[in-house]
Chain A
């Protein structure tokens, strides 16, 4: 009896519910999702997923421009292992990333704390601070190139007039000067991003907490250390991961300022791989350098994952 009732229910249902193959294809939830995901999937698979795998594969071949390579195992990596220029680029990349990221974080946080205070023209300040981030990196790098000019640098000129130095500083001609100069330009460009994102985080910290702590006699350092910093940690984790990631893989600033010179002193792994792969045509070797960056990136992504788990911060940051 019960079976019959179900039977009847089933028999009644079809005329109303059975959709045609076409309407299932355009409106069934599973299929609809499939169609909605299509454009994204096609682009990301063709131009991101596939090249990513192809890049790792290329690093195990001796491909050159215009010639598909043959599999040569770890030969590229063995060759890089004994290559001083490669190790110099690894050193430069780590120095560049660690120094620039640390200072970007310190200055960015300081600037965010300043902007979080009650200021006249606060919105205007915030807008101005972001300008270096808006202007394309290469174009501001060109301005730095002119500021760092060996002969006509305004920085050298000013310091000379102030009597601090006697001869022009050779900003981009001397290995260590060039390193610090490029690091400074990178910090200049990265601070606004760190500051504005951290400022958004700071604004979520309730002033009531600070007032309560002040009533209990906390100093301003104690308030920062025990209220602001813990509440800000998840955002700091995410922002700094983006910052580290994009500093580590930086290309355009170096390329516009020094192209890796003088004598490879400012070559980052990204610029070195461009030089070897595209300019010298050694696609396999260039890919091996790019592939060598992946472990570092994975470590950074691991930290990002940890930060995201700590707090559901669900919207992406941005380019640095």
Chain B
């Protein structure tokens, strides 16, 4: 057995040339189909089916939704955009979309600004206690919104920000800043010191160095932090549910759960259309920046 494997290793020219293939060539095709492709296909099917079902429901005419025997439930012959029309022109959906977009954008920009400064100070200015502060910021990321929303509600109320988008714009950075700071610290560490030293000798101030040398080099990190923060904002639910009360001010996730759910048996079409439409901006953003997403998620695991 060992001899055969060794022979295969030496004979196969791919072994040296392409390490990404690993030892895949040791597996026969039928074996690969059973051990790799079928399980993979099953998992991908389960992961994607809810989206297919969401999309299909949102274009199905109402009568096909509740009659599963005279129509094939897995397909629809005459798709309708009635639900989308109802969503966009007969409800406050565009308003909710706008709220979500506004809150997510503002909160993300505030967080990025704060995190860039903080990450640079921790990594490069190395003031007394920088490491301790870095650890504290990491711990801050582990504090979940579920234990903060009650006291925050009283704080927000006392500041007079209740039912205002500003409340969310100020609160979302509490989970965005720790994440972005931590991510950017990793990127800043990879930028060579020598560049900064040169600039210092040429008389640049620290702020000039940060904005003219470090940031341009950390653009990939900034993009990762930006899109990931944006996604987290869009996904946020419990703060938005607690701090906003009037219908016009709600964000998409909260509005879908609270405003669309009535006793109507025909609600499913517009509900699914709303969920689909609310996910689209993120999915589009994601499809353009897959690599940045992955690097934001995995940080420097790859090293």
Contact = CB atoms under 8 A, between A and B. Distances in A.
A283 B150 contact: yes
Given A118-B22, A134-B282, A314-B186, A152 B66 contact: yes
B19 interface: yes
B43, B228, B252: most-surrounded residue (chain A CB, <10 A): B43
Interface string B260-295: 000000001001101110110011001100100110
A52 B145 CA distance: 10
B242 A274 contact: yes
B117 A40 contact: yes
Contact of B299 (A118, A125, A313): A313
Contact of A277 (B44, B139, B150, B178): B150
Contact of B237 (A123, A131, A252): A252
Interface string B34-62: 00100110011011101101100100000
A140 interface: yes
A237 interface: no
A212 B205 CA distance: 53
A304 interface: yes
A128 B47 contact: yes
B177 A40 contact: yes
A72 interface: no
Contact of A278 (B68, B153, B228): B153
Interface residues of A, number: 111
Nearest to B153: A278
Contacts of B282: 134-136
B171 interface: yes
A216 to B, nearest CB: 7
B20 interface: yes
Given A40-B115, A207-B23, A304-B142, A134 B73 contact: no
B1 A142 contact: no
A139 B278 contact: yes
B154 A40 contact: no
Contact of B125 (A33, A52, A137, A314): A33
Contacts of B115: 40
A42 B296 CA distance: 25
A25 interface: no
Interface stretch (A3-11, A97-105, A173-181, A285-293): A285-293
B23 A211 contact: yes
Nearest to A278: B242
B215 interface: no
Chain B contact residues, majority secondary structure: helix
B43 to A, nearest CB: 6
Contact of B301 (A123, A140, A235, A250): A235
A58 interface: yes
A152 B152 CA distance: 40
B118 A40 contact: yes
Interface in B128-176: 128, 130, 133, 137-155, 170-171, 173-175
B63 interface: no
A135 B152 contact: no
Contacts of A208: 19
A126 B294 CA distance: 9
A50 B174 CA distance: 12
Contacts of B223: none
A54 to B, nearest CB: 4
Given A118-B20, A130-B293, A249 B185 contact: no
A95 interface: no
Contacts of B149: 274, 278
B114 interface: yes
A91 interface: no
A36 interface: yes
A317 interface: yes
Contacts of B125: 29, 32-33, 36
Given A196-B294, A197-B298, A207 B47 contact: no
Interface stretch (A14-22, A74-82, A198-206): A198-206
A149 B186 CA distance: 45
B113 interface: yes
A277 B252 CA distance: 23
Contacts of B246: none
Contacts of A126: 290, 294
A210 B25 CA distance: 13
Contacts of A149: 268
B23, B140, B175, B228: most-surrounded residue (chain A CB, <10 A): B23
A111 interface: yes
A138 B147 contact: no
B82 interface: no
B266 to A, nearest CB: 11
A40 B15 CA distance: 50
Nearest to B206: A32
B15, B144, B232, B290: most-surrounded residue (chain A CB, <10 A): B144
Interface of A: 27, 29-30, 32-40, 43-44, 46-48, 50-52, 54-55, 58, 63, 107, 110-111, 114-119, 123, 125-132, 134-140, 142-144, 146-147, 149, 151-152, 154, 157, 188, 191-193, 196-197, 200-201, 203-204, 207-208, 210-211, 214-217, 235, 245-246, 248-252, 255-256, 269-270, 273-274, 277-278, 283, 286-287, 290-291, 293-294, 297, 300-301, 304, 313-319
Leading 10 A-B pairs by shortest Cβ distance = A315-B299, A33-B127, A200-B298, A36-B121, A39-B114, A249-B144, A316-B182, A252-B237, A270-B146, A55-B151
Given A47-B152, A117-B22, A314-B182, 10 more contacts: A32-B125, A37-B117, A130-B286, A143-B54, A196-B294, A245-B144, A278-B242, A287-B151, A290-B150, A316-B141
